[in-house]
Amino acid sequence: MTNTFKRQDGRKPDEFRKVIAKVGVVPNADGSAVFEFGGTKAIAAVYGPKEMHPQHSQDPEKGTLRVTYNMMSFSVHDRIKPGPSRRSMEISTVSGWALDPVVVLDKYPGKVVDVHIDITQANASTRCAGINAAALALAHAGIPMKDMVSSISIGKLDKQLVVDVSKFEEDWEEGEGATDIAMSFTNSGELSHIQLDGHISVKELKEAIHLGRKKTKEIYEIQKKVLKDSIKLGEEND
C-alpha cells in the first residue's frame, strides 16, 4: 500500500481514528461499554440472560442473542425521526449475526440476552463502532464467549484502500468513487460479518479483507486492554 495518499483528516491510509473505549458506563445494565472511532460514538448495554418474551420467540435448545441498533435523532446533521427504521432494523440483525458465532448460550434455553446499541454521534462506520461496543459489553456482562469480535470499515477511495472510513470519505466521488466495506472478525480470524457498497475488483477486495483482518487484531488488543483494566480497577475497589 502506498503511504503517499493524503486523507482529509491527515491520517495514513491504514490508520484508524482515535479510539476511546470504556466499560461500565451504564450502571443499571449487566454489562456496558462505549466505543468511539473519532467522531463516531457508540454506547452499548447488555441485559440478561433473562426470560424471553414473547414466549413463542423462545428457543428450547439455547438462549437467543437479540441486538438492537439505534441512531439518536441528533447524531447526524439531518435529524432522524426517533424509533426504528428499515436501516436500523437491518443493522440490528446484521450486528447480531456478527456476534452470534462467539456467544455461547447453550446453557440458557428459553432465555434472551438483549444488547442495545445507541449511536450518540455519527461520522460514518457507526455499525463497526456499535459492534465493538457490543462485544465489549457482552464480555463485561460475563456472558460466556469463546472468542472476541472486532469490527472495522475498509474503504476504497478511487483506487486507494483506507482504514476506518469517515463521512467525508464515504461521500468520495472522484475516480471510481467510494467503496465502503464493513467487516467483523473473531480473534481467531474468522469473518463473522461483511457488508459492501460500491465498486471493487476481486483482487482489491481480497486485499481489503486482509487489511481488515490485520487492523481488527489491533482493535482486539484495545478491547482486551479495556477489559483487563476494568478487572484491575474492580480489585482495587474491593
Q: Is 30 in the site for other proteins (CB under 8 A)?
A: yes
Q: Is 73 in the site for other proteins (CB under 8 A)?
A: yes
Secondary structure (3-state) at 161: strand
Q: Which of 228, 196, 232 is nearest to 212 (CA)?
A: 196
The residues near 229 (Cβ < 8 Å, ≥ 6 apart) are none
Binders of other proteins among 91-150, rule CB under 8 A? 114, 116-118, 120-123
Q: Is 57 in the site for other proteins (CB under 8 A)?
A: no
Q: Is 54 in the site for other proteins (CB under 8 A)?
A: no
Question: Do 92 and 98 touch, CB atoms closer than 8 A?
Answer: no
Residue 93 CA to residue 103 CA, distance in Å, equals 15
Question: Do 172 and 158 touch, CB atoms closer than 8 A?
Answer: yes
Secondary structure (3-state) at 132: helix
Distance, first Cα to last Cα, the chain? 49
Secondary structure (3-state) at 198: coil
Q: Is 44 in the site for other proteins (CB under 8 A)?
A: yes
Pick 73 or 201: Cβ nearer other proteins: 73
Q: Is 72 in the site for other proteins (CB under 8 A)?
A: yes
Question: Do 121 and 188 touch, CB atoms closer than 8 A?
Answer: no
Pick 120 or 230: Cβ nearer other proteins: 120
Q: Among positive and negative, which fits the CA dihedral 187, 192, 198, 202?
A: positive
With cell 466495506, the residue in question is 181
Q: Is 234 in the site for other proteins (CB under 8 A)?
A: no
Closest approach of other proteins to the CB of residue 184, in Å: 21
Q: Which three cell numbers stand for residue 124?
A: 460514518
Pick 58 or 121: Cβ nearer other proteins: 121
Q: Which of 13, 21, 64, 68 binds other proteins (CB under 8 A)?
A: 68
Pick 76 or 222: Cβ nearer other proteins: 76
Q: Is 183 in the site for other proteins (CB under 8 A)?
A: no
Q: Which of 3, 4, 10, 27 binds other proteins (CB under 8 A)?
A: 27
Q: Is 77 in the site for other proteins (CB under 8 A)?
A: yes
Q: Which of 61, 74, 201, 214 binds other proteins (CB under 8 A)?
A: 74
Q: Is 47 in the site for other proteins (CB under 8 A)?
A: yes
Q: Is 43 in the site for other proteins (CB under 8 A)?
A: yes
Query: Edge-to-edge, what's the strand order for the sheet holding 111-121?
Result: 19-23, 31-37, 40-51, 111-121, 64-71
Residue 89 CA to residue 83 CA, distance in Å, equals 10
Pick 56 or 203: Cβ nearer other proteins: 56
Binding residues vs other proteins (CB under 8 A): 25-30, 39, 41, 43-45, 47, 50, 68, 70, 72-77, 79, 82-83, 114, 116-118, 120-123
